Structure 1
Amino acid sequence: MRGIATIGECMLELSGQSGETWRLGYAGDTFNTLWTLRALAGTERDADYVSAYGDDPFSERQIAFFRENGIGIAESPVIAGARPGLYAITLTGAERSFTYWRADAAARQLARDPATLAKSLENRELVYFSGITLAILEPSDRAVLLEAVAEARRHGTHIAFDPNYRPRLWPDAAAARAAIDQALATVDIALPTFPDEQALYGDQTPEDTAMRIERSGVGEIVVKNGEETALIAHYGGRQGSPAVNVATPVDTTGAGDSFNGAYLAARLAGDTPAEAAVRAHRVAAAVIQVRGALAPVDVLKMAFRA
């Protein structure tokens, strides 16, 4: 098989520096996960970010940045006149807030061509997507995406998914629940975050989250819970995985995404779910000690191998 792919939207990221100086970067939940996966899963695997791109200078530079870091775009369309979404991060201590400009982003068209999307996912070892991937798509395009993911799974690809519920991206909670429930039917590994699941489904405990997702047919679930212990549910078994405490985090951006990337990289390497979660917690703890969504590769590798 030809490696790994994640699906979604990578935006231009403006992060505040000093005064009115801003730094331009590239980030988005599924891209952050791919960044970590690419760093930790080995260069022998192809790594592609499946989306849709514009033909403006910012899109061209974004694709070049991917290429410089060993990430391709598979058969993703480049759309004339389109452009990427943009967001800005402001920090209060280590906590971040976001302002978005993404209503007409090219990535919203990533599933407009079913044949091209299917080809991008063809013969993959692992495909990963998220609830944000679902949320940016029109319902008809969302159906195309889920069919492409299901078809890849039927041909032996492992599918991983983080529901990553963001209320502002959905018309209402019912629409989010319906789409996420449909997605879970295509999934081998689910990586939810408990506060998100509590907000969307009313789950009272991480165990409630695991049990509900198991009823969708998912055999491997890791319920992340911030600084609290994560719950691993693996084909009926249960095990806790304590988080790594960081007394003075610098920037929590991308912590959950990096956990997901490290967990999946460890599973690809043959680790058990419990072993993979230990490594993922270490990587997430390292990521929140540096600024930005994309931690330096050497930081990721050092934490992963510790």
Structure 2
Amino acid sequence: MTSPAAPVLVIGECVADIVRSGDTPDRVHPGGSPANVAYGLARLGRPATLLTELGPDANGRLIRRHLESAGVRVWAAEVSRTPSAVVELDGQGRARYTFDIRWTLPPTELAEAPAAIHLGSIGAVTEPGAASVLALVERWRGRARISYDPNVRPALMGDRAEAVRRVERWVELSDLVKASDEDLAWLYPGERPEAVAERWLALGPAVVAVTLGAEGAFARTAGGGHAEAAALPVPVADTVGAGDSFMAAFLHARAADADLAVCLTHAVTAAALTVARPGANPPSAAELAAALGGGAPAASSGGAPPASR
């Protein structure tokens, strides 16, 4: 079991999010799902290293400063330009992404043994870099705890059947998997999230957690355990990075040996704090502790998980 101070290696893309909403000027925020998770872990006090790609441009410098300001150690292969995404927000703050990204991570040997590895999103499915990520994770599986978030981007996933195959390969390799109900709806149209979670558990993970937006989240274990948590009602600035804050808080609590219901409560609370402010801005340890002490969403073990939207 990972100790509370053990570092996490996060692998995947950095993205400059160009946020566009109505008539307001564009805003550039550091983003990219794996980068957000690394930043969220560091904000909660857990040492994190990000293996990624960055360009020698203003966006690359912005993202590096952002990550390092929280204490993330950045290992970045240099590319010609930093990936970007135009993020268009609707009236409810929900985000739609248009990407300008390549992922070409070269084969990598680690200078030190990781205690845990987290990966997902574009870096796990986009070639040629995804092959390097797979080779690295296969080398360390069994020696480091693996977590995965598919964070589905339909415009970049290609053929659905091939995307499902790739995602399920990562599920097989992982100890903990988190997905949103929207991810599952694209991967498995018409199937209930609870049914997909059970099928994924049969592939090998110890835990599968599913977020349900305003309806909260549930998690299930291979041993038959389950927990659910209601969402914390907050005014929504935007939903950018909410799932990544959920992931970071869940990993942080899980690494400290918290039980499933506690992990889920920490995660939904972190996500709520993130949606209440613009951009991928996860809570600090102090902010999360204050929110948990001041009326965190209820979590329970047993009973049926909440229904899908």
* Same fold at TM > 0.5: yes
2:149 aligned with 1:200, yes or no? no
Alpha-carbon distance in 2 for matches of 1:27, 1:55: 16
CA distance in 2 between counterparts of 1:7 and 1:265 reads: 17
AA at the equivalent of 2:25: T
Contact 2:43–2:70 (CA under 8 A) maintained in structure 1? no
Residue pair 2:229, 2:261 contacting (<8 A) in 1 also: no
Q: Distance in 2 between matches of 1:229 and 1:101?
A: 28
With normalisation by structure 1, the TM-score equals: 0.85
Are 1:130 and 2:120 counterparts? yes
Q: Deviations over 1:243-296 (max 9, x none)?
A: 224253221221111111111111112211211101111111121111111235
Q: Which deviates more from structure 2 when the two are superposed, residues 256-265 or residues 24-33?
A: 24-33
Structure 2: distance between partners of 1:143 and 1:185: 16
Same amino acid, percent of matched pairs = 26
Match of residue 30 from structure 1:
34
Instruction: Assess, with a 3 A threshold, how the Cα gap between structure 1 residues 131 and 216 changes in structure 2: closer, same or farther.
Output: farther
Q: What amino acid is aligned across from residue 240 of structure 1 in structure 2?
A: A
Answer yes or no: is 1:48 the counterpart of 2:49. yes
* Alpha-carbon displacement from aligned partner over 1:25-65 (angstroms, at most 9, x marks no partner): 2011112222221111x2xx531111122223432343233
Please say if residues 14 and 54 of structure 2, whose CA atoms lie closer than 8 Å, have aligned partners that are also in contact. no
Contact 1:146-1:186 at 8 Å conserved across structures: no
Residues 155-304 of structure 1: pairs in structure 2 closer than 5 A: 156-202=143-189, 204-246=191-233, 248-295=235-282, 297=284, 299-303=287-291
Say whether the 8 Å CA contact 2:249–2:263 is kept in structure 1.
yes
The alpha-carbon distance between structure 1 residues 270 and 109, as it changes in their structure 2 partners (threshold 3 A), is: same
Query: What is the distance in 1 between the residues matched to 2:123 and 2:91?
Result: 29
User: What is the total number of aligned residue pairs between the two structures?
Assistant: 289
Taking a change above 3 Å as real, the CA distance of residues 62 and 287 of structure 1, as seen in their structure-2 partners, is closer
Displacement of 1:216 after TM fit? 1.1
The secondary structure found in structure 2 opposite 1:51 is strand
CA shift in 2, pair 1:172/1:299, >3 Å: same
Alpha-carbon distance between aligned partners in 2 of 1:145 and 1:299, rounded to the nearest angstrom: 33
Equivalent of residue 5 in structure 1, options 9, 26, 43: 9
Q: Secondary structure at the match of 2:212?
A: coil
Moved more, 208-217 or 291-300: 291-300
For 1:65 and 1:195, locate their aligned partners in 2 and report how far apart those are by CA, in whole Å: 28
Structure 2 spans left out of the alignment, 5+ residues: 295-309
Q: Report the alpha carbon displacement of residue 133 of structure 1 after superposing the two structures with TM.
A: 1.9
233-242 or 295-304, which deviates more: 295-304
Give the aligned partner of residue 89 of structure 1.
87
Q: Structure 1: which 5+ residue stretches go unaligned?
A: none
Q: Is the 8 A contact 2:270 2:283 kept in 1?
A: no
